[in-house]
Chains A and B, each alone.
Chain A
Amino acid sequence: MAQNTKKRHINWKLIYKITYGYKRYLFGAIIAVLLTILFSYAIPMVTSFTIDFVISGKDVNLSPLVENLVSFFGGKEFLRNHLYLCGIAMLLLTIFNGLFSYIRACCVNYASESSAMTLRNMLYEHLQNVPYDYHKHTSTGDLVQRCSSDVEIIRRFVSMQFIEIVRTVTRVIIAAIIMFSIHVPLTFVSMCTLPITFAISFFYFKKVRNEFIVADEAEGELSAVLQENLTGVRVVRAFGQQKSELDKFTQKNQAYRNLTYRVLKLLAYYWGGTDALGYLQIALSTAVGIYLAATTDFTLGNVLLFSSYTGMLTWPVRQLGRILADMGRATVAMERIDEILSAPLEKEPGKALKPEIKGNILFSHVNFGYDYPDEVLKDISFEARAGQTIGILGSTGSGKSSLVQLMQRLYQCTGGHIDIDGVNINDIEHEHLRSHIGIVLQEPFLYSRSILDNIRITNPSADVEDVYAAARAAAVHDVILKFDKGYQTLVGERGVTLSGGQQQRVAIARTLMRKAPVLIFDDSMSAVDTETDLSIRKALRNIHGKRTIFIISHRITTLMESDKILVLEHGRLVEEGTHQQLMNKNGIYARIANIQEATGQLNLEKEEIGRS
């Protein structure tokens, strides 16, 4: 994004792509705009015509069309006696004007909403299909911001700015043509402040934007302070810090008030100043018009015509300045969105096979790193036969999570290879691979829908009894039933917040539903208490031998029953064996087991029964 020096342009390619299929609506909108302008200009002309020609009875040069119309209706005298015809003409023009502005609005809306829809879908689909690594390097807040505000800016560009520019420019041109054809000097007088108004608006909004940003940031800080106070309310009270919190909040509240007021004040000057300019312009053209009417044969109708045209031009031109000043935002938004869309999608590195997967896993000299080839994992080799349970122990940052994520190819190993049932996983199609390996993440994500739907998310038509069974195995069935709405309880953003342990257990149930031949538990019982941990492990014992299971944990009790335990340290596989083998070896595993025993984290069962 650091391309500030580069001159920005509207990304027409993107606009073309998202408006594809809806272009005729845009086209229709432009035609409707032109017609609306013509009709809106005709209305003051009727007034002017009525006053000059019909009422005052002056001889004005009429266009042949109007001349014919007048004679069709029976000439000036007839119109004078039937003044309502002028009124009806005006109504008809207004109706047409309204009709076309209605058509314009509908076309524009359909085109812009459809483009926004296309863009939103494009973004969503893209973000779903980029490699996971992409998400690791981008911030959620920033992405969501781009997908909502930036899309909105582009929608507005299509719906308002683009059309508004077309509209204002044609307005000025057509008005200029009509006015020049009536009276050249007065036209110059009537348009003399327009460039100034435009320039003021343009530069003003360019300048004031930074002030807006500052005020927005102040609001952000205000909410941050509030949010921290609310989430930390127990700490605040427990330390009796209400006073200092109030001071903190007051300070932010004041800053926000002052900064926002400053912006609003600047806006007030702007509106007041340009208002004055606009009114002065109207007054000027009226005054000169009056002077002309009083001293020459310039008609009263034309005076009124000029002052209404001036009024019809001033405000849109002021708006145009603002729109052009804001255009920078649209180009920045397009750039930011393009950046997302140009991120490469997840690819198949190999043959994309769909072999039968039983669960024999082989790691052969696997290296992995984000920035350097072996910064996270170095030369890992081991074998897990189908039906075995493998425990993995290692301190934070030792590479445990990366190791299991490699199996699902969320990342690709940078060296060596991983085989499943003899096939290199790089040659297995990623959806096939992932649907045969169930993984429960340490911080699992639940979708904002009911608990029931979350558990059967991979198979929405699954039988409710199966869901209950999975939930029982994950020791969460009784917890769910305690909620007011049971399995129908909504979770996530719009529903209740589950505790970390509850989330983990729902995620375990969800993964158990998949009946995948390989199951991975990435420290996924860290937030449940020891009792629940035990009951889940009991349930897992039932499927022991039927599936290949990997369990990452800090708890020796959780690992000790595994067929094989791997101990990782700084990305290397340092110990491998059964509980008893590793205890005898007296290495890291044994040390940690002893500490845990001493601090009483080991199951009391063994400890106390052994003692008594």
Chain B
Amino acid sequence: MSYIKEEEFTKKIDINLWKRLLEYALRWKKLLAAIIVSLIVVSFVDILYPLLSKYAIDHFVAQQTVDGLGGYIAVTIAVIIIQSLCSVCFVMGASDLEMRISYDIRQECFLKLQKLSFSYYDKTSVGYIMARVISDIGRLSEMIAWSIVDILLSFTFIIGCIISMFALNVKLAFITLAVMPVLAIIAVIFRTKILRQYRLVRSINSRITGAYNEGIMGAMTTKTLVREQQNFEDFKILTQNMRHASGKAAHLNAIFMPIVMFLSAIGTALALQIGGGQVLNGVITFGTLSSFISYTTQLFDPIQQIAQKFAELQNAQASAERVISLLDTKEEITDSKEVVAVYGDNFTPKKENWPPIIGDVTFKHVDFSYIPEEKVLKDFNLHVPAGKSIALVGETGAGKSTIINLVCRFYEPTGGKILIDGVDYRARSQLWLQSNMGYVLQQPHLFSGTIRDNIAFGRKDATEEEIHAAARMVHAEEFILAQKDGYNTQVGQGGIRLSTGQKQLISFARVILADPRIFVLDEATSSIDTETEQLIQQAITTVLKNRTSFIVAHRLSTIRNSDLILVIGNGGIIESGTHQQLLNQKGAYYNLYTHQ
């Protein structure tokens, strides 16, 4: 997850944005109430401590007596225990809240991601989404939960302190509190600066990690290009920048603390000087003076806490915006309410209402464009009877994949309609269509788990025998059984432990088992060794049997075996026919392969 981009720094705190995130916390009213009650108790006790000492000084020390000392100690111990229990309570409560918030937002994001259209995925990288769902949400929920706690805690403490000080002595309170606003302003300025600097440090750090990654992943390339020394020179600049940036951050931090200490010392000194005089004059007691000194020394921390929290909120705003914008992304392809009522949605399908699918596909006056000005398909018409196979050929970017995306309803036509078994597919649910569709990609994608899990991906209830039969049909069983654990072999993340050819074969078995009526294949251009290649060709032939199929084809044998070849270009079909017909025509198809 090295996908950390330098974020823009927004100046103002966007209240609405945080309000929306706060709603995730407000869902848990009882928990929030428990947190708030316990933290109010905690800050109440914090305010009580100096008063307890005041009593002790004025009573026991001043009067030179130990009467009631036992009771006093008992009260102190009780107060400490209550406070500790309450602080355990609110720390636990805040942790619980944090985890609930992150759980909820993550669930919601994931749900959203399952519904978002491919137009979103085509524009957004996986790394970007990962960073949102994992890091941003983690950070935000921590922020929300703990900001609530810290800000409330500091706030109640400050208010309590001020009240208590005024109650003790108004004049002294005015004088000692005079320093606090200055302290608050300085704290806000520094905290913001410090955080900004640390962000710079983080971003350099992620670049260093990236450089290591590059240095290691590209080790062979680097050696072949004899670039070791040059790489190292580049790297040294990075680490030097790092030292510089973090030095600056540490410098800011180091100067901030003494300034704050100094300001709070001014408060204490004032209290000592003026309060001391008052003690001498008998206006206040020693106990009052000592509690004033405690209050002034303790006030600084909550003030700079609040400053820090606001700086953090400001800092995290960019994360918040990105997460909210993910949640707010419009789903371009949705099922209408009427359709959902009958067919169910993607998560709770009502399969009992689903009509069986035959596999007759018709494009009727279909227009399509990814960007409004650039039409990829114009008035495209095509009828594919059930069970026929169509090979799509044409230059890169001619629109072959677009046709496939439209058939799968990964995209919808911008004009005209697509009929499945004579009915506009938008009148039925996406899941209805997609559950009846098999799909094999150029780059076969497997999920981590066993080979068996992967074959059974589209039909989780398949029996062992069915799984084996599917593997046999695509000639995958031989290599599966050659693996140490057979069907139980772990394929690793993304199927990394298998070769491309093996992954292809498993993805064919997966389709066979799901037994779809419509099959879509984006044939790989890459060359695999000839023996495996043959197995794949045989697998394709097996899969195509009795299914309506659309193939973006590169292999001549695949093209030849299909019922109809469409040469795609200029937003539509340039030529169509069988292999021999097209060759005899000596047109675009002929040229595509011979005129180079």
Q: Which residues of B contact A227 (CB under 8 A)?
A: 126, 130, 493
Q: Across the two chains, which residue of chain B brings its CB closest to A131?
A: B223
Asked if A105 and B254 sit within 8 Å, CB to CB, the answer is yes
Cβ of A222 within 8 Å of any chain B Cβ, yes or no, is yes
Q: Identify 6 new A-B residue pairs, CB closer than 8 A, beyond the known A238-B439, A241-B458.
A: A230-B129, A239-B457, A287-B72, A291-B60, A294-B60, A448-B210
B76 in contact (CB, < 8 A): yes
Min CB distance, B94 to chain A, in Å? 9
Q: Are A234 and B410 in contact (CB under 8 A)?
A: yes
Nearest chain B CB to A583 CB, angstrom units: 15
Asked whether A240 and B435 contact (CB < 8 A) given A55-B276, A97-B261, the answer is yes
Knowing A232-B445, A246-B111, A271-B87, the reply to whether A239 touches B458 (Cβ < 8 A) is yes
* Known contacts A135-B219, A257-B103, A283-B80: A83-B95 contact under CB 8 Å: no
If A148-B209, A447-B214 touch, whether A55 touches B224 (CB-CB below 8 Å) is no
**Of B222, B286, B493, B596, the contact of A300 (CB 8 Å cutoff):** B286
Interface of B is mostly: helix
Contact A275 B232 (CB under 8 A): no
Known pairs A231-B494, A283-B76, A493-B210; A127 contacts B410 (CB<8 A): no
Interface pairs A-B: 5 shortest CB-CB: A600-B556, A98-B258, A272-B88, A105-B254, A238-B439
Contact of A290 among B61, B347, B441, B510 (CB under 8 A): B61
Contact mask A141-169 → B, CB, 8 Å, 1/0? 00110011000000000000000000000
Chain B residues whose C-beta falls within 8 Å of the C-beta of A264 in the assembled complex = 91-92, 95-96, 98-99
**For this complex, into which size category does the number of interface residues on chain A fall?**
35 or more
Do the beta carbons of A605 and B593 come within 8 Å of each other?
yes
- B301-345: CB near A (< 8 Å → 1, else 0) gives 000000000000000000000000000000000000000000000
Q: Which of A43, A84, A501, A592 has the most CB of B within 10 A?
A: A84
Residue in A51, A219, A239, A500 with the greatest tally of chain B CB atoms within 10 Å: A239
Q: What A residues does B493 contact at CB under 8 A?
A: 224, 227-228
Decide if B33 is an interface residue (CB 8 Å cutoff): no
Do B211 and A113 touch across chains, with their CB atoms under 8 A apart?
no
CB distance from B158 to the nearest CB of A (A): 20
Query: B218 contacts A242, CB within 8 Å?
Result: no
B window 46-92: CB within 8 A of A: 53, 56-57, 60-61, 63-66, 69, 72-73, 76-77, 80-81, 83-85, 87-88, 91-92
Among B220, B228, B347, B556, the residue within 8 A (CB) of A243 is B347
List, in ascending order, chain B residues with CB within 8 A of A235's CB.
439, 441, 445, 447, 457, 507
Contacts A132-B223, A294-B61, A444-B221; is A230 near B594 (CB within 8 Å)? no
- Chain B minimum-CB-distance residue to A482: B397
Q: How far is the CA of A50 from the CA of B273 in the complex (A)?
A: 9
CA distance A250 to B104 in the complex (A): 10
Instruction: In the complex, identify which listed stretch (A193-201, A204-212, A524-532) lies at the interface while the others stay far away.
Output: A524-532
User: 8 Å CB contacts to A: which residues of B226-267?
Assistant: 226-229, 231-232, 235-236, 239-240, 242-243, 246-247, 250-251, 253-255, 257-259, 261-262, 265-266
Q: Is B172 an interface position by the 8 A CB rule? A: no
On whether the beta carbons of A457 and B225 are closer than 8 Å, the reply is yes
Contact call B556/A109, Cβ cutoff below 8 A: no
Listed A/B pairs (23) with beta-carbon separation below 8 Å: A86-B269, A86-B273, A87-B270, A90-B269, A98-B258, A105-B251, A113-B243, A116-B242, A135-B216, A239-B435, A239-B439, A240-B435, A240-B458, A242-B115, A253-B103, A264-B96, A279-B80, A294-B60, A395-B531, A438-B224, A458-B227, A599-B534, A612-B583
- Taking CB atoms and an 8 Å cut-off, the chain A residues in 571-612 that contact chain B are 592, 595-596, 598-601, 604-605, 608-609, 612
Give the shortest distance, in Å, between B114 (CB) and chain A (any CB): 4
Stretch of B355-363, B471-479, B521-529 with 4 or more beta carbons under 8 angstroms from chain A: B521-529
* Whole-angstrom distance between the Cβ of B240 and the nearest chain A Cβ: 7
